[in-house]
Each structure stands twice: as C-alpha cells, then as structure tokens.
Chain A
C-alpha cells in the first residue's frame, strides 16, 4: 500500500487500515440499514379522507373529488409529500353516458407529477424490493385516463401543493364533446380568515347603499367613498382602496382561486402587517396573496365587504399592492446610515416596487380578465393622484404613487371569454400615467 511508506510506521499503518476498514464496514452497514426500509402504504379505498369527497354532475357524468391533508397523505402513501410540495387529489369518474371519455390530467395541473415520478423522487430510503413495492403502489393507484361508456374509474393525481382550499379544474373530453368542472375542496385544519367573519352582521340594512345604475355607482366611487383605508385607530393613510368588486361571495372566492390567489389562515401570525390596515374600524375581511413567479415580490389583496350593492349583488372594496419578500432592496438602492430619512422616502417612492400600486392594480385586472371571471370592467377616479415628487405615505411608512384610479370589476358566475367582457366608463377616458416613447 502506498500510504504505508514515509509518514507512518508499519504498525501505525496496519492500525489505520484496520480502523478505516471498521469505519467503512460500519458505514456500509448504516447505509444498508438506511436503504433497507420496506415500503408501507395505506389502502386508498378505506382512507378516511374520502368521507369529505365533493361530488358534481354534468349530464350523465358524475365526478367526486377528495383531497387528503398532509397527515392523511403521509398515512396513505407513507411519504411526506406535502413537504415536497406535492398534493395528491383522489378522483372518481362515473361515466353513465354512451360515450367514452378521457380524463385530461393536464386540466387539473399542467405541471402535474406522474405517479412513478413521485415514487422515484422518494426512492433513496428504500431497499430495492421496497422501491419496487412503492413504484407498484403508485402505478396501481394512479388515475388512468380512459373511462369507457357506462364505467367508473378512480385514482390519484399528483399536483403541486396549494395552501388552503384546493381549487382546480377538471375536463373530460371525448369525440367532439367535453365536460368541464371546477372544484373547491376544503381541507381540515385550515380555516381561512374570511370564514371567521360574521358577514350578515357587518352592516345594518339602512347602512347599505343600493345602486341600480352603473353611473350611480361611479358617482359614489368618485365622490363619496373614502380614498383609502386607515390604521387601527381609524386615522392616517392606510393605502388606496384601488379595487372595487361586485359579485357574490362564492363567485369572488372562485375568481380568486382560479386566478391563483392564496387564502390566509385566520389563526396565523402571517401577514399581520396586512391586518393593521382598516376600513370602517375593522381589519380586512379577507387577505389573499400571490407570490410572483421567478421574482422576489408578493402581491397582496386586502378585501372588505363594502356598504353597497349593485342590482342586489354585494360590493367589495380592495387594495392591491406589491410587497418585497426580502429587505435587501434597501441595500441595493445604496442607502447607508448617513442618508436622511426624507431622502430614503423619496428614493423609495421613485424606485421601489411596493410604491407602484398601479402596476399591482393592472395585474389584478388582467388576472381576473384572463381567468375568465369578469363580465364587465371599468376605471373610475376616487383615489386621487399621488405624484412621485410629493408622494403620499401610509401609516406604515410606504410611500406610494398612483394616477388615482379605481378598477371596478363585475364578476361572472360562469366563465366569460376575454372578448366578451363589457367595458365601462369609456366616455371619460382615464388620464395617461406618464409618457411612453
């Protein structure tokens, strides 16, 4: 052995090799023990979470969907899939029609995980036979695609994890026909903030303004409704109320989930800063958020039930803006301790993503528009302009700039294609916000 020359005596060398062999042997034994785990799974048909199945019908096609929570997923698959961002959905399709149908897995999640992919991602702790058993379990319990006429199929689809209520589409298609479903399956252990609000007693009957014309609503939004939210003491600038939504609570919730907005837990400390913003003395009835793809920003939407109705449908007030997820932004702007507070605020108004509330508002409008939730939209005044050279500042020290418009969004209960959305308030076109080349 080449190591047994020079530095070590023969005895030392033998001793070291003995130790090395021992360590190697022990390591191999540990590794073998670690990778010798057999695979243990549950029985899908007997899984308790199936009791929470939600059923919908379309013609002669009946679909039931159930979603296990993190613990139930672990019990069923033997794997902590939630930790890996994977959320199984169990579906049963009962095709009592005369036509064969295909289940479009893509419609549930275009980037779904294939069953064996999930098994392969988790192969490391298992022995060869353990992995083989796991792969077979995933293969056997995956949802197939074809449902012949008069037959029933059930199984699991592995989607990306979304926090809170699981909202997803499901399309079944056959020869020149399709059945489309949208599911919202609640998960136990998750209570969204809006579920804790007593909406029936927020306002008395006489406090509710009722509009039967859109112009009446426009006048109210431009001249009567306050520009902004407040702090907890009903004072200060709590940021502009730059979104007004008209639609029933279930329709609004469907639009938000379809658009990829996440609910906030009612019992969580997350987003406490959002709950400092108040309207009529109360924090938002619901806070929703969306982490921007491939970005360091989060978009937040604070919603309050508004004291008005339009044609019998409830109104909602919203404020939408960006928040930075990391504070390195301040360093990137090049501040240090000698920079004056006024200079920082001015610079933040000029440069920060959070100050640009109109970009967030435009994003919200398009998000609802392209997820086919809108039946009409318009822009009105009412917020008031906040210019970059003299920006308004919220009670929590966010300088913001805006052209002063409110987006008014009328929701539809059924999907509306983008070209069928009615455009409102076009007679006085909104003022341009800055120049373009």
Chain B
C-alpha cells in the first residue's frame, strides 16, 4: 500500500505545477436541449424523445466545445409507463460511446474552463434500468456525426423490445444532395417506366464511365446501379455508416486541405465533380477508414428510368489507397485498381446494414483484364470484369440469409456503353 502511495507522490513530483484554481470551474447552466427539434416516438407503454444539439448549442449547455473533441451529446428521455423494469442501452446509440468521465478527460486537456466529471455525470444517463412508471433522461456522449445523426435507441424489457431508429438533422454542414432538387432533374415527360429486360438493355447502353467536365475524357467505370427511392437509398447508406459529402465551399476546402496535410480524418470532405449525362454527381457519400488517404467514396446519378415505380440510379465507387504525386494536380488519391473488389465490398457493406433486398450483375462497362488495364482521369490504371452490380435497396431490414440473388444473364445484350 505504501509503495503505491509513494509512486503517486513521485509521479506528482515530476509534474510541473498547475493549480486547479488557475481556471474557473464550469457550472452547467440549466439549458434545455434543443426542444424545437425534439423527435418523439411512442411504442406501447414507452415514449422515447431525442434531440441532438449542434456544436454551438452544445457549447452553451456544457460550456465547452465538445464537438472539437469528437463528442456529440445526444439527449434521450425514456418514459416507462408500464409495470416492469426496462433497460436502456447507450450501446445502441454508439457502441464506442464515452462515459461522462471519459468525456470530461477529453475536454480537460483542451478547455480553458475546468471541466468537472461531476457536472457531466449530473447531465448524463448513468444507469441501464428504467423502473416501472418512471422517467430516465439525460445525455449520452457519442462520437460526432455532422450533417445527419443516425442512431438507434434500444429499450429492452422482459416481454418486449423496442428498437427505434432515429435520423436527426444536425445544423452546421452544407450537404451536397440537399442542394439538389431530385424532382427537377428530369421533366416528367422524360421519365420512363420499363420492364426488367428493357432496364438491363438500357443500362448496358449507358456510358461505360464517368467523364471530365468537358465530356471528353473517360474516367472510372460506372459499375453500380441502385433501385430505390431517394429516402430508402439515403437511409441505407446512413445505416451502413457512410457519410454525406459537403458541397465545395471555402471552409470545406480548407478543412480538406488541412486533413490532407496532417493525414487526419475529415469525414465529410467534398468529393470532386465527375460527370455523367452532362452533369456532376447528384450525391456523393464517403466512408473514412483511418485517414483521408484511406477512404471509399461513391457518386450516384439519377437516371430517367423507373422499375416497378422505383427510381433507378447509376454510380461509380473507388477505394483510395494512398496519395501519389502528379504533374498536373501535384497530389491525387491513388485508387485501388481492383475496382471490382471495391464494388463488391459495397454490396457486403449494405448487406450487413440489412439494406439489400436482391442483387444481380449486368454488363455495360467492358472488361479490362489485369494485364491490360484501362486508365481513369488522373491516370490511375484499373482492371475489371466489366460488370455492373445492380442492387435493389430494401425498404425494411433484410437479413443476409434473406437476400435474393437475381441471375440477369438472360437479359444481357453484350453492349458496352460509350
């Protein structure tokens, strides 16, 4: 016992003197969560309300910039009007959520004010059980999602389980697809409903690849097709953990540049414009792995086709595996030349988000074997079996053993798009 105490003193002796009273203690004001954006769900005897404060609102509540330390508090209120104890599991919101004290420690290092664990604990949810006829409310400290926050609130009881999925907009980010009116891309007269055989034929006629702004040079292959409403696509991508992309404006470019220099992760960095049908992508999503050099991103364009009343989209995906130097642009991301690997990764990613109803393959891209690869707009080689992956997005959750594999080979035309 004594040796441990001695160690503690030795440790302290090595520490330069900073006294607690150098900084004022922060006392949290009784600031309510952003009630004008409360989202309320009710299931049986259970009512769950949630709200996600923006970075600025968070600073008002906690007196510190939590977002800067990758902490996003989510306010949750669970009202249990039933006769049995229920369990609220913060793990459902984020399996890597921070405890209040972990949050305080992260803040303490950078904050001007002296953040107290006790204060954060006072505002947090600190237990799992929600007793009968009681209310449990407070903050769960999750990792930051800007733009749109997607999370589950799981409340488990002996007789029933309530799993609620919340998708909550967070102010502060300019998302690219929010600036595009999806209903105005095509005039009504140009929209065409087709049968599956005709869909395959028309998709195989579509361009093989993306183009540059002048529509001249060919780039990465258009190897994805999605069938589903914008809402279903959006929920599927968010559920699978893909981040939206910011539109390119001053601040976002600066943040992207900073993360490229430092190797840090800026999850919403703008994606450069590539062109199909004479226009830049309608939306782009990305998923960071470790740093900006290691991320996957895909772009999608709405086609004028409809299948069974559902919009059809065409897309392109690539996996950044590093940075290389070029004469024209100084640096560019090196993409994995095995574009089929990246394409099939996306299928699995969406399948594990339980978002795939069925899938199949069509042609249209044109094969480029490993030994004779084609090049994209930045001169990166790629090889492919020449197929497009067609994914029907499920409206509800579809487990991996319920996914239908469609053999579309009977509809193949053998045509390769220009």
Q: Could you tell me which A residues sit within 8 Å of B by CB distance?
A: 100, 104-107, 110-111, 114-117, 120-121, 136, 139, 142, 145, 171, 173-178, 231, 236, 292-297, 322, 327-339, 341, 344, 347, 350-353, 355-356, 358-359, 362-363, 365-367, 369-370, 379, 388, 395-397, 403, 418-419, 421-423, 426, 429-430, 432-437
Q: How far, in whole Å, are A423 and B405 apart by their CA atoms in the complex?
A: 39
For this complex, 16 residue pairs linking A to B, each with C-beta atoms less than 8 Å apart, are: A104-B351, A114-B341, A116-B337, A177-B401, A292-B96, A330-B11, A330-B12, A333-B108, A337-B13, A338-B17, A350-B118, A353-B102, A353-B105, A362-B90, A362-B127, A429-B132
Task: Assess whether B367 is interfacial by the CB under 8 Å rule.
Answer: no
Cβ contact within 8 Å between B101 and A359:
yes
Cross-chain contact of A423 among B11, B85, B321, B370 (Cβ < 8 A): B85
Cross-chain contact of B17 among A107, A120, A328, A336 (Cβ < 8 A): A336
Cβ contact within 8 Å between A295 and B123:
no
| Selected interface stretch from B135-143, B172-180, B277-285, B408-416 | B135-143
Cβ contact within 8 Å between A173 and B403:
yes
Task: Assess whether B187 is interfacial by the CB under 8 Å rule.
Answer: no
The 9 closest A-B pairs by CB, nearest first: A419-B161, A334-B20, A336-B17, A178-B401, A106-B348, A366-B91, A359-B99, A436-B138, A175-B405
Cβ contact within 8 Å between B102 and A379:
no
Q: Which residues of A contact B100 (CB under 8 A)?
A: 356, 359
Closest chain B CB from A407 CB (angstroms): 9
| Selected interface stretch from B109-117, B194-202, B203-211, B245-253 | B109-117
Task: Assess whether B154 is interfacial by the CB under 8 Å rule.
Answer: yes
Which A residue's beta carbon lies closest to that of B132?
A429
Q: Which residues of A contact B91 (CB under 8 A)?
A: 366-367, 369-370
Closest chain B CB from A433 CB (angstroms): 5
Cβ contact within 8 Å between B126 and A434:
yes
Cβ contact within 8 Å between A336 and B400:
no
Q: How would you classify the secondary structure of chain B's contact residues: helix, strand, loop or mixed?
A: mixed
Q: How far, in whole Å, are A60 and B129 apart by their CA atoms in the complex?
A: 44
Q: How far, in whole Å, are A106 and B257 apart by their CA atoms in the complex?
A: 30
Q: How far, in whole Å, are A362 and B88 apart by their CA atoms in the complex?
A: 11
Q: How far, in whole Å, are A329 and B101 apart by their CA atoms in the complex?
A: 11
Q: A110-B349, A117-B336, A436-B124 are in contact. List 19 more A-B contacts (CB 8 A).
A: A117-B319, A117-B321, A173-B400, A173-B401, A337-B13, A341-B5, A351-B117, A355-B101, A356-B100, A359-B102, A362-B90, A366-B90, A370-B91, A419-B156, A429-B85, A429-B129, A429-B132, A434-B126, A436-B125
Closest chain A CB from B265 CB (angstroms): 10
Q: Which residues of A contact B121 (CB under 8 A)?
A: 434
Task: Assess whether B84 is interfacial by the CB under 8 Å rule.
Answer: yes
Which B residue's beta carbon lies closest to that of A297?
B102
